[in-house]
Amino acid sequence: NAGVMQNPRHLVRRRGQEARLRCSPMKGHSHVYWYRQLPEEGLKFMVYLQKENIIDESGMPKERFSAEFPKEGPSILRIQQVVRGDSAAYFCASSPMGGTEAFFGQGTRLTVV
């Protein structure tokens, strides 16, 4: 049973480009969470999704950031017009239902140059 898969592991983008981060949850998991970790900081909640629904996006910046979890395929975190401050590790987690333990992927390290 494969764990949570995130790709790419490392992503370099120039300022102004778009970044797309992918997350395939564990088999049987329909709940996905995205977190961001800035250097030397903790994990900051961004968004919580179920299949085809955004449940809670209270941690997501209002502009340039969007997330989706379609009926088929991985969850996507999209950052438009990236800036240097977007450089961070982005982690995805999944759980079989709300209120249970969430399992994390290895993360995508985004570097904006």
Interaction between residue 30 and other proteins (CB under 8 A): no
User: Using the rule CB under 8 A, is 25 a contact of other proteins?
Assistant: no
Q: Do residues 72 and 59 make contact, with C-beta atoms less than 8 angstroms apart?
A: no
**Could you tell me how many residues of this chain bind other proteins (CB under 8 A)?**
28
List Cβ<8 Å contacts ≥24 apart for 69-72. Answer: 69/32
Q: Which is nearer to other proteins, 103 or 111 (CB)?
A: 103
> For residues 62-101, which are near other proteins according to CB under 8 A?
91, 93, 95, 98-99, 101
Q: Per residue in 45-81, is it b (16+ CB within 10 Å) or e — as a string?
A: ebbbbeeeeeeebeebeeeebebbbeeeebbbbebee
For residues 31 to 50, the per-residue mask of contacts with other proteins, x marking binding by CB under 8 A and - elsewhere, is x-x-x-----xxxxx--x--
List of residues contacting other proteins (CB under 8 A) = 4, 6, 31, 33, 35, 41-45, 48, 55-56, 58-59, 91, 93, 95, 98-99, 101-107, 109
